Amino acid sequence: MKNTIIPFVFLLFFNLFGNLVHSKITSGKGIIILEGKYQNKNLYVQNSFASSGVGFCVYEVTINGKVTTDPINSSAFEIDFNQEMIAVGTDVIVEIKHKDGCSPKVLNPDVLKPMPTFETTSIKVNHDGIINWSTKNETGSLPYYVEHFKWNKWVNVGEVQGKGTPEENAYSFKIPLVSGENKFRVKQLGNNNKPRYSEEIKLRAKMTQVSYSYSKSSREIVFSSETSYEIYDKYGNLAKKGYGKVISCTNLEKAVHYLNYDSSTEEISLK
């Protein structure tokens, strides 16, 4: 049994409560409830003395209904999932039961939120623009963001919800290709917004490069075929984006803009 004392400086760098935490009062006593998935990290609790001055505030901790053996009679303690033989990715409900007139503080509730842990077992794309990928070792259901490198940047082009289970899972998504080289990857984001990426894959598309013309009279951009596009103003603000063959520019300032389309980036005067 461990008796872990958390230094005061350590406490300052954690949120007191997150979205996974809620509490209720039962018979004059309180329960803090945390729900999520075990991500191979333990919870830390700042405990206080009971309002009576005798003993500490927390009197019982349970994980999925089972009373833990954590050293709760302390000013700070750790809820150790390893002692309870909880497997990574397991759904957990933690109940921290405390006496009336006091309240413990959960220092790092976010550790029960899903984190990106996937490993890519395969990823490929065909000439129809269908990207297929398989992963393993997911420990929580998080969206996969599909990214396409074009216009000198990674562009988010779609989203597929991850299954969140450790066995091998397969996914697919259809993406409009651009002329020339196409490069793709998928990623997931954790609660700290730190991304985890798949490997990158490339494909040279067998298609004609898209061209365009601009009509001053109708103030329209017309492409030779349908394409994804973005228009930025001279200050770098996004003015329009979409997919199609014609863009109406009647509501845009008569000035220089920057046009992204197909695999190209160009400066265009919309006068």
- Looking at residue 52, what is its pLDDT? 85
* Alpha carbon distances (Å) from 138 to 63, 67, 116, 118, 186: 22, 28, 7, 5, 14
Which portions of the chain are predicted below pLDDT 50?
1-19, 23-28
Q: Give the pLDDT confidence score for residue 83 in this predicted structure.
A: 85
31-61 pLDDT, tens digit each: 999 999 898 899 999 999 988 888 899 999 9
Q: What is the pLDDT of residue 6?
A: 38
Instruction: Answer yes or no: are the C-beta atoms of 214 and 221 closer than 8 Å.
Output: yes
Contact 29, 22 (CB under 8 A): no
